[in-house]
Structure 1
Amino acid sequence: MRNLAIFLCLTLSLATSALAQRRWTEQQANDWYARQPWLVGANYVPSDAINQLEMFQAATFNPALNDRELGAAESIGMNTVRVFLQDQLWEQDPKGFTRRLDAFLAISAKHHIRPLLVLFDSCWEPNPHLGPQHPPIPGVHNSGWVQSPGAPGLTDPAYEPKLEAYVKGVVGAFANDDRILGWDIWNEPDNTSGRPGEPKNKAELVAALLPKTFAWARSVHPTQPLTSGVWTGDWTDPAQESPVTKIQLAESDIITFHNYGWPEDFEARVKSLEPLHRPILCTEYMARGSGSTFDTVLPLAKQLNVAAINWGLVAGKTQTYLPWDSWLHPYVLSQPTIWFHDVFHPDLTPYRQHEVDLIHALTGRGTPPTLTAK
């Protein structure tokens, strides 16, 4: 009887473990979303950091600046930020990186902000390196951003255990941490920069690795949802979806997407995702020169019960107030008339007072948003 009891306990334990590693049901996902406030925030990189590495490396991590800038976000009603991590930070110093991330989460919590943490990213520079980062290229949008994993890690099968250790290590360290909103497994996985060193079969490599990454994260039993945001292609017809999009939609507990188009396009994208019957969060929007603005999209997102996380909080070394066309035609001799992304000047005065008033009014949070230079 004792052996039978042990066997039954072990079987139950294994079954529970397997269940915990499955994608959330629609009911679980919608129950989670019902417990959240309307989520509004920004993709956040400190104004003194050119990329993810500079944000979190020991030599350049700046808690005091994080505190000031997240305080500005809180003051206009924001309650979340989307923050990018990088696998080399973990490989170099797991304990140190964990401490710095914990410190950042404490600052965020102080300001009633719960971050959505991004583990991997396929955008921009395919050969990232630790240590000092190059200065911003004059007049160029996001000129120092780096991928994770870089091309060497993506193409070398021997590197995969390091990526697994990173995912399990970071998610496992904070798996039960209420300060975290969720885990964004991979940003725009099949995006290609066309920069030197990027593998030509990148989409195929990512498609093979993406399901494993979700499984690694689930294996440490996070209480927060997992997601990877769809960003391109036709989402109205499964037959038209790319292999990577199919994986993203099949694996995500909550549905996230990117849209930098006019409000009509934003609404159409939301409608194309509603048949999935899961919470919908827009984790990138707001490109003023492309028709995506706070004035038009944010009220619509609230009406549709869609979370809204714009790109950029404080103008700084990423230079994302410059438009995408600066990649081809740098704004060196003149500045664009309209900022592309970002909400605040480096001194934390608003780029446009009406926008911060609108965010504050729609969220009903924060303090009166008239900010002065410091």
Structure 2
Amino acid sequence: MSVFFLASFASARDYDTPIEGRWSVEKINAWYDELPWLVGCNYYPATAINQIEMWQAESWAPERIKLELDWAAEIGMNTMRVYLHDLVWADDEQGLYARMDEFLDICQRRGIRPFFVFFDDCHRPTAKLGPQPLPVKAYHNSGWLNSPVRELAERYSWGKATDTEVAWLKGYVQRTMERFRDDERVLMWELYNEPGRGQGLNGDMQSTAVKGAFGDQSKNLVYDSWLWAREVNPSQPVVSNTAGSVGKKNISINRINSDLHSIHSYRDVEGTKKVIAPYLEDGRPIFVTEWLNRYGGSIPQSMLPYFKENKYAAINWGFVSGKTQTTFHWKSRQGRNVEKELAEGNVVKPGESFPEPEVWFHDLLRMDGTPYKAEEIEVFKELLK
């Protein structure tokens, strides 16, 4: 594909008009009304530091996943938000689908209907297949990855992605959706997590002035991902993150095209009400696809009753604490250089215990299944009876 063609295509994008195929308000609410109150977490096994380590063949860990999802089922969880990565797909498409099938079977046996996320602008801008880095000690998400890598995302935004790269990203979305488009084990599809977010250190998820953010440079891939998804027209709803993203255009494209709303709020009940309020006028279901910030009052004891009362899907960040170390606050990254600390060996080595802060930021269980706070787990169990 020539640069000229890409530039022409970009100029033809109408960011402000919904792309044909969005479910009507009546259709999406009829679909949602048939579902139980949905509760789960952003899921990856504790043994995976990122999306690649979860899904590539050499580190695929189905027995660990079975163990952790047994714990989730015991709590009463019935959904999971699960990230994929385009590099795994490009390297081993059919192998990835086989592992997704196995994952879906594991979930189905436990009464869990997960959904998958394709793209993500958060955290490390580079990625490669193979052995993944060890966790940097006491560092929140030292190994989580952009998808696609930032360098490609930048060139895509400039209209300079190659033929092969455009086909790769389009194929990743479309062929994956086509493979599972009528699979009842899949709850829905989420195209993009927090487009524009970058490596920001600002804990205010509604801020549009985040240090290091990519912003509306993501808008072309955000828009094109909607074109690709609507061409497939899967039987499941399609959504892309709004509140939690950075860039007015990113947020607007996703809001006017999403069948329902995927919203992030790490605030307490009153703060979360303010985040959700603008979306209520659309009359579409609300999925709070990231929450849980014990430093900010976003805790199970208060948030879960509020979510249940309003039938907002509740999907907190993290389940079993492990390699991602999201028990540590976002601020644990400030003033630190991941690459330097990796080179110096300031890492949690295999077999070593993970450091644990006095107050956990995210996550619910330790690697042996014991809860950070038993009373939190009891709230889940009581409300999910």
TM-score range, shorter chain: 0.7 to 0.9
Letter in 1 for 2:233: H
Alignment of 1:1-374 (within 5 A): 22-154=21-153, 155=155, 156-158=160-162, 159-193=165-199, 202-232=214-244, 242-328=248-334, 335-364=356-385
Question: Structure 1 residues 191, 342: CA separation in 2 closer, same or farther (over 3 Å shift)?
Answer: same
Shift in Å at residue 110 of structure 1? 1.0
Shift in Å at residue 233 of structure 1? 7.9
* Counterpart contact for 2:83–2:118, Cα < 8 Å: yes
Shift in Å at residue 271 of structure 1? 2.1
**CA RMSD, Structure 1 to Structure 2 (Å):** 2.1
In 2, the alpha carbon distance for the partners of 1:41 and 1:194 equals 26
**DSSP-derived class of the 2:113 partner:** coil
Shift in Å at residue 21 of structure 1? 5.7
In 2, the alpha carbon distance for the partners of 1:79 and 1:163 equals 30
Shift in Å at residue 126 of structure 1? 1.0
Q: Note the alpha carbon deviations across 1:331-351, whole angstroms, 9 max, x for none.
A: 999743211111111001111
Question: Structure 1 residues 347, 232: CA separation in 2 closer, same or farther (over 3 Å shift)?
Answer: closer
* Counterpart contact for 1:284–1:311, Cα < 8 Å: yes
In 2, the alpha carbon distance for the partners of 1:78 and 1:104 equals 16
* Counterpart contact for 1:255–1:278, Cα < 8 Å: yes
Among the aligned pairs, what percent are the same residue?
A: 38
Shift in Å at residue 151 of structure 1? 1.8
In 1, the alpha carbon distance for the partners of 2:274 and 2:113 equals 28
In 1, the alpha carbon distance for the partners of 2:213 and 2:222 equals 14
**DSSP-derived class of the 1:190 partner:** strand
In 2, the alpha carbon distance for the partners of 1:287 and 1:267 equals 15
In 2, the alpha carbon distance for the partners of 1:78 and 1:50 equals 22
**DSSP-derived class of the 1:276 partner:** coil
Shift in Å at residue 152 of structure 1? 3.0
Question: Structure 1 residues 360, 187: CA separation in 2 closer, same or farther (over 3 Å shift)?
Answer: same
Q: Which structure is larger by alpha-carbon Rg, 1 or 2?
A: 1
Q: Note the alpha carbon deviations across 1:258-283, whole angstroms, 9 max, x for none.
A: 00011101122222211011011100
In 2, the alpha carbon distance for the partners of 1:189 and 1:125 equals 14
* Counterpart contact for 2:196–2:245, Cα < 8 Å: no
In 2, the alpha carbon distance for the partners of 1:202 and 1:352 equals 36
**DSSP-derived class of the 2:217 partner:** helix
Shift in Å at residue 291 of structure 1? 1.5
- 163-172 vs 214-223, which deviates more? 214-223
* Counterpart contact for 2:178–2:232, Cα < 8 Å: yes
Question: Structure 1 residues 37, 361: CA separation in 2 closer, same or farther (over 3 Å shift)?
Answer: same
* Counterpart contact for 2:197–2:213, Cα < 8 Å: no
* Counterpart contact for 1:47–1:314, Cα < 8 Å: yes
TM superposition outliers: structure 1 runs of 4+ over 4 Å: 329-335
Shift in Å at residue 98 of structure 1? 0.7
* Counterpart contact for 1:211–1:251, Cα < 8 Å: no
Q: Note the alpha carbon deviations across 1:84-134, whole angstroms, 9 max, x for none.
A: 000011100111111011111110111111112101000011111111111
Shift in Å at residue 232 of structure 1? 4.0
In structure 2, the gaps of 5 or more residues are: 1-18, 202-211, 337-345, 348-353
Shift in Å at residue 153 of structure 1? 2.4
- 202-211 vs 244-253, which deviates more? 202-211
Question: Structure 1 residues 70, 296: CA separation in 2 closer, same or farther (over 3 Å shift)?
Answer: same
Shift in Å at residue 203 of structure 1? 3.0
**DSSP-derived class of the 2:41 partner:** strand
Question: Structure 1 residues 315, 232: CA separation in 2 closer, same or farther (over 3 Å shift)?
Answer: closer
Count of residues in Structure 1 that have an aligned counterpart in Structure 2 = 335
